[in-house]
Amino acid sequence: MPDPVIALDLGGTVIKGAVVGGDGSALIRRRAPTLREEDAEDIVLRLGTLAMELRDEAVRLGHAPAAAGVVIPGVVDEAAGIAVLAANLGWRDLPLKDRLQTRLGLPVAVGHDVRAGALAEARWGAAEGHPSFLFVPVGTGIGGSLVVDGRTYPGAHSLAVELGHIMIDPAGRPCGCGARGCLETISSATAVASGYRALSGEDGVDARGVAERAGRGDAAARTVWDGAVEGLAAALATVVTLLDPGLVVIGGGLAGAGPALFDPLIRSLHGRLTFQHRPEVVPAALADEAGALGAAILAWRLAGD
């Protein structure tokens, strides 16, 4: 069984940290706030401090870690361990691997949070037994990762399967990427909540709440929810045509809507496909643990396990 490793998942609001045993169980768990108002140096310092606390406690308990893995959002050069661009964190060309290795005294693997989450779903989650599949987390944003024969495909510039930036409506709302009408502006949890607020005038209803209201016959909620589902189905139909995945795993907060999402999504997706194979579409199994577990897998690979 592989040695324990340190796993860190850096999100927009919280850093999830754990010492993970070879069976995937968390031997130690810790969390720390990301605090977006802090600058890049402060966040890196907080990340390194949490990693050191996990390392020291693991050693004290007899679980000395062999390596560490950290996963982050944005554009990541995984081979070099560099955060090329993490706009929400204010990072650009940050040599994260070197910085953390110097503090920890352990080998450190740096990866992309969505691609790492896909690896975890393959090993312990909804894609177990499927060497090739598409992983799509739908939450604040929308990401994507293609797994082929057990390996994620990052693309030539670490930008592969940016599903959230497939253009659905060229005349649609501006997207943070600089384009208009991207899938994220229609089908993300953020877009669903803001779309409902614009139609109803009611604030404080999140995406899951919109789905529930749509099911109860709220006209504004129905309009927004149906648009989100149709947008996601259109984007998935494009990816299915290009990549032919046998399985699509939907994760992120919106997957928690259950049948309210999956039933109409599958109907709409299958209705858009003609000659293409109709993939199985299932909810992710690991929820918000996928990123950290994926970081552990990267650490084991680096350590040779």
How does pLDDT run across 85-139, given as a tens digit for each residue?
A: 876 677 888 999 999 999 999 999 999 999 999 999 999 999 999 999 999 999 8
Structure tokens at 96: 């994260």
Mean pLDDT value across residues 272-288 = 96
Inter-residue contact 191 to 225 (CB < 8 Å): no
pLDDT category, 35, cuts 50, 70, 90? Answer: low
**Global pTM value:** 0.90
Give me the count of residues in the chain.
305
- Is the pLDDT assigned to residue 177 strictly greater than 90? no
Q: pLDDT-derived band of residue 36, with 50, 70 and 90 as boundaries?
A: low
Residue with tokens 């993970």: 20
- Among residues 183, 91, 81, 172, which one has the least CA distance to residue 137? 183
Q: How far from 121 is each of 39, 61, 247, 283, 293, CA to CA, in Å?
A: 32, 28, 12, 10, 9
Order of strands, sheet of 145-148, starting from the edge strand that comes earlier in the sequence: 151-152, 145-148, 133-137, 247-251, 280-283
- Mean predicted lDDT score pLDDT of the chain: 93
**What pLDDT does residue 161 have?**
94
pLDDT at residue 66 tops 80: yes
**Which of 28-32, 210-214, 241-245 comes out lowest in average pLDDT?**
28-32
The pLDDT value given to residue 88:
66
What mean pLDDT comes out for the span 193-209? 94
Question: What is the gyration radius of the CA atoms in the chain, in angstroms?
Answer: 20
Question: Is the pLDDT higher at 87 or at 5?
Answer: 5
